Amino acid sequence: MPSVASIGECMVELRQAQGGQSGGQGGGLYSRSFGGDTLNTAVYLARLEVKVDYFTALGDDTLSEEMIAAWNAEGVGTRRVARLPGKLPGLYMIQLDANGERQFFHWRDSAAARRLMDLPETDEILNSLMSYDIVYLSAITLSIYDAAGRDRLFAAIRRSRLLGTRFVFDTNFRARGWPDRDVAREVFAGAFATADIVLTSAEDLLALYPDDSHDALMARIPAPELVFRLTEPVSLLRFPGGTSEVRAEPMTRPVVDTTAAGDSFAAAYIAARLGGSDPVEAAQAGHRLASLVICYPGAIIPGYAMPPKRRHRPAPSRQATK
* Contact indicator for 212, 241 with CB cutoff of 8 Å: no
Check if the beta carbon of residue 208 is closer than 8 Å to that of residue 188. yes
Q: Catalytic pick from 60, 123, 263, 278? A: 263
- Cα separation, 151 vs 222, in Å, equals 19
196 contacts 167 by C-beta, under 8 angstroms: yes
Helix (H, G, I), strand (E, B) or coil at 130: helix
Angstrom distance (rounded) from CA 127 to CA 293? 34
| Residue partners of 107: CB distance under 8 A and separation at least 6 | 90, 91, 92
Known catalytic residue at 263: yes
Alpha helices (runs of H) in the chain, residue ranges in sequence order: 37-47, 62-74, 122-127, 139-143, 147-161, 181-194, 202-208, 214-219, 261-274, 279-293
Residue 57, helix vs strand vs coil: strand
Q: Is 14 exposed, middle or buried (0-12, 13-18, 19+ CB in 10 A)?
A: middle
Active-site positions read: 263
